Amino acid sequence: MDFKKILAKITPTEEEKQNMLKIVKEILNKLAIKDAVVSLGGSGAKDTWLRNSNEIDIYVRFNYNKFKDDDSEISKILGNALRKKFKNITRLHGSRDYYQIKYKDFTIEAIPILDINEPEQARNITDISKMHVDYVLKHYRFSKDIRLAKAFAKANNIYGAESYISGFSGYLLELLIIHYKGFMNLIKNASKWKLKTIIGNEADVKTLNESKLGSLIFLDPVQNSRNAAAALSKEKYEEFINICKTFVKNPSDIFFEIKEKKIPKNSIVISFETLHEKKDIAGAKFVKAFRFIQTQLELEGYKIINKDWKWGGEKGIYWFLLKENKLDSLIKVNGPPIKFHKDLEKFKEKHKEIFISKGKSFAFVEREFPNVNDFIKSLFKLSNVKDHVRSIKII
């Protein structure tokens, strides 16, 4: 397995690096804020970003002593400073509001945090961000392995901690690589993970909020009261294990190549547009609508062979490949046992014809939507769908 060849494809070129640094320098020169230090953050600062990424994190670290007792103003201060120097600014709501800037060909996220020295000083989870950068930089020798892990996860659709993906965050992959000391060590160990894996002091795990516990528990070495894998779903955890098992048996460049999702022939394809909200929120909502449609199809009696979705920003599609696209026009409904005479009489009043089998009563009723397309269209009118996406239709 030639990892050098893969790294040559996924590592930003020198020209790309210099262009990114040029943009960062322009941002830093424009953004001078009293009582704050502005610096490059995220994977750009760690030098673990992948080629063709046009996203940059900027940390605006406000003086801890000045704002430790009331950090509610730092988002507003940052917003006012940004509006004086930039156009196309969007305020995004989070645990602490931050800002997105469209600047040249880049998407910049400016994040207000407190400039802390100890994790205990944090007033917000984002305050730890600079310490995460420092921790990864201490282990810079693993930067190539980290890039391999990110490209591997991205190509296999398990990259991203956003709620609509529930996969591996970039920071979690960085921690895993550092913990296992390299890409292949991570893959080999992950292929042997069990139903639950704990990395860290198990005594500390007991102090975590139960809602933060999942199939993988990785105590953040920077802040051991936090599970760095809290956003990872059981499904993505198990997918990763299976992919690692396959890769160990037959390593191949294919595992690092992003594959276009193919819609199986004869699938029911549904197009939709997402709500005008923050990407993570809009994504979470359209996934809820997708899961609702899936559940209702199964409850109605349809057997789903294949299902998935694709999303390209504002527009996306769902698809469902079913064993059959039409069900019987009649549905068999259960009535009460015949020994319950009063209940049986009520059942007879409701249904013109009933039949008895093994001491129980039954009847047949007309199915409202025997055709799957009509059934799905009826779901579009329900709040579980219409409140989570817009302009949804079967194509």
Contact 64, 116 (CB under 8 A): yes
pTM of the model: 0.86
Assigned fold of 330-366 = Alpha-Beta Plaits (3.30.70)
Report the topology of domain 268-326+370-394: Alpha-Beta Plaits (3.30.70)
- Whether 135 contacts 127, CB under 8 Å: no
Task: Tell me the pLDDT band of 325, cut-offs 50, 70 and 90.
Answer: very high
CA-nearest of 113, 143, 107, 139 to 125 is 113
Topology of domain 8-136 in CATH is Beta Polymerase; domain 2 (3.30.460)
Domain ranges of the chain: 8-136, 140-256, 268-326+370-394, 330-366
Q: What is the largest CA-CA distance in the chain?
A: 84
**pLDDT tens digits for 22-50?**
999 999 999 989 999 999 999 999 999 99
pLDDT at 361: 94
Say yes or no: domain 140-256 is CATH 1.10.1410.30. yes
Q: Look at residues 5, 1, 49 and name the one whose alpha carbon lies nearest to residue 23.
A: 49
Contacts of 244 (CB under 8 A, 6+ apart): 187, 188, 190, 191
Going by C-alpha positions, the residue among 97, 32, 37, 35 that lies closest to residue 66 is: 35
Q: Can 8-136 and 330-366 be said to share one CATH topology?
A: no
Q: What are the helix (H) ranges across the chain?
A: 3-10, 14-30, 42-46, 64-67, 74-85, 129-138, 143-155, 170-180, 183-190, 202-205, 234-249, 279-300, 341-350, 372-380, 383-386
Count the helices and strands in the chain (H runs, E runs).
15, 15
For 257-293, what is each residue's pLDDT tens digit? 998 889 999 999 999 999 988 888 899 999 999 999 9
Q: Write out pLDDT tens, residues 219-239.
A: 999 998 899 999 999 999 999
Of 48, 67, 81, 82, nearest to 124 by C-alpha is 67
